[in-house]
Amino acid sequence: MKQSPPKKWKHSLKKGARISAGVAGRCLLVIVLYATYQAAHLELWNRNTPSGVKALTKQEKREDFEYLTRYVRDVYPYNDAIVRLKSLEDLPSLEQSYIERAGLTESNAEFFQLVYEYTQRLRQGDGHIGVYFGGYRPANDSFLQAYFYNIKKSAYLKMDYWGKEAATFGWYAFSNADVVYSGGNYVLNREYAFPDITLPEGTVIEKVDGKRTDEYVNSLQSKTRLLFDAALNKNFIGTLFSIDSNTGSDHWTVDFRLKDGTGYTGKLMKQSASAQAEKGLRSSDYPNAVCRELDGETGYIKIFTFNGQYIESDHAILQNFLNDSKGKYKKLIIDIRGNEGGELTYWGENLVRPLLREPKTFVQYSAVRKGFFDRMGFKYNLYRWVMTNDLLQKDVYHIERVEKASLAEFDEKDWNVFKITKRFTPRDSVPFDGKVYILTDRDTFSAGDSFAAAAKGIKLGEVVGTSTGGSGSAFLAPVDIALPHSGILLKMNVELTLTDRNQPNQIVGTAPDVELPSVYPSDTPRSLETADLLADPWISWVRDQ
């Protein structure tokens, strides 16, 4: 018989802030306050339409960047970490330069490109941070949301305009060489033919456009997010040849080192994004949750995303698979490689609670700069009173208590540190008494990372593979901000979640219990057919245990 989650989950399926079921009176109060606020400022709607934005003056551009850099100085929690761990540029030292550059931009498009560039620097701390435009929109653009974040309704109308401006960017290009990051080096993942030589698999890339690879990677910090290899204390990117760092050239000049020590310099031609072939498993070819029996004692579950839209349907799939096994599996592999997150409720109700045999508690620490609370003022308590935050909703996310804490790494004059205790209890238990193995890689992100962290914390099973991509928040969902003149909308994560070693999770990720040999991007099975799964090295490792 199919099983589905209880109705009380359904209000948790949409991301972002939500209105609680029992607070209609409070909502009415805030709506009245909001209407008064908007009327006072004559900004319920303004004259801008979705079709365009007036040409910004140089002064308006400067003021927008002054607003943005002040907000970052007060609220952004990752600057010290990106300087200390990633050895990247200190953001406060760049403020004046960006403000001056903003005033020198000649068009709205050039200004928007500068804002986008600045947010790429912010993303060195957390991958959630970014600019909304075109089809990438806030999860919630209600009047209440706009009120709490001081966003004019007109800002939501301008996203299509800024999306058209973004289409003029000429930042991206690709190479047809298959290059992976492995053991601190970039190497050819398969042989590559030049007119005069074919370089074998394993050939190392030493320089790009005259820069050593480490230097070249760091030079891209204003164009793309750099990942961090905590074991080697260095930055890397998923696709070495993905940024057109020299738009005046149709190629990259690359210095290679062969296995015999000889060198070769060649030109890798730039290709458009449309020419870049998709690698690895394609989620579009499969249901979101796929279950397989690998052998008589090993079950396998692949989950592509924890998006809320799949909670109910996948609950039935997972329950049926494990109930039908009648407890015969000694090992269960949960493969969340490439899972970029979604809802915490997905893994809490579909994976953790069904696999538990007794209640378990899990503690996380999160640090938020006091500047965030200063900026929110009285609205912060009102927000918590009226809105249901998607991370601290007690009855959905199993929050036992939230309390202030002190950690030596965080000066209490500048930071609020929170200790968050969650308590998971068994529910919809399945007949499985074996060992759980959770496969993670660098592309396991956000709620995917949160699941890995929780699984380690409650000892649900062994996390196996590589460190995740991090960014599993615990205290507050990312907030939205809007620049005052342009109306450009940005998404900003304001909390620094800590690992079990008090390191910034957003940068170092969740470390596995067992590190396995890997490359990045990960080599995943060619398909989810049983034969291809059995050939996967990580799955083979689990079966050998």
pLDDT in tens, the chain (545 residues): 434 444 334 333 333 344 444 555 565 565 555 555 544 443 443 444 444 689 999 999 999 999 999 999 999 999 999 999 999 999 999 999 999 999 999 999 999 999 999 999 999 999 999 999 888 888 765 677 788 888 888 898 899 899 888 888 878 889 999 999 999 999 999 999 999 999 999 999 999 999 999 999 999 999 999 999 998 999 999 899 999 877 778 999 999 999 999 999 999 999 886 555 556 678 888 999 999 999 999 999 999 999 999 999 999 999 999 999 999 999 999 999 999 999 999 999 999 999 999 999 999 999 999 999 999 999 988 887 777 656 777 777 888 999 999 999 999 999 999 999 999 999 999 999 999 999 999 999 999 999 999 999 999 999 999 999 999 989 988 899 999 999 999 999 999 999 988 899 999 999 999 999 999 999 899 999 999 999 999 999 999 99
State the pTM of this model. Answer: 0.88
DSSP calls for 341-387 = -B-HHHHIIIIIHHH-SS-EEEEEEEEEEHHHHHHHTHHHHHHHHHE
Expressed in angstroms, the distance from the first to the final Cα of the chain is 33
Half-sphere exposure at residue 73, Cβ-oriented, CA atoms within 13 angstroms: 11
How many angstroms separate the CA atoms of 396 and 389, rounded? 11
Q: How far is residue 222 CA from its own chain's centroid?
A: 17
122 contacts 544 by C-beta, under 8 angstroms: no
451 contacts 469 by C-beta, under 8 angstroms: no
Residue 150 CB contacts under 8 Å (≥ 6 apart), including other chains: 481, 482
How many angstroms separate the CA atoms of 194 and 326, rounded? 56
Residue 142 CB contacts under 8 Å (≥ 6 apart), including other chains: none
DSSP calls for 292-344 = EEEETTEEEEEE--B-GGGHHHHHHHHHHHHHHHTT--SEEEEE-TT---B-H
Extract the tokens encoding 440. Answer: 């993670």
Residue of 80, 90, 89 whose CA lies nearest to 218: 89
448 contacts 341 by C-beta, under 8 angstroms: yes
506 contacts 127 by C-beta, under 8 angstroms: yes
Q: Cα separations (Å) of 75 from 183, 189, 374, 415, 504? A: 35, 41, 9, 10, 16
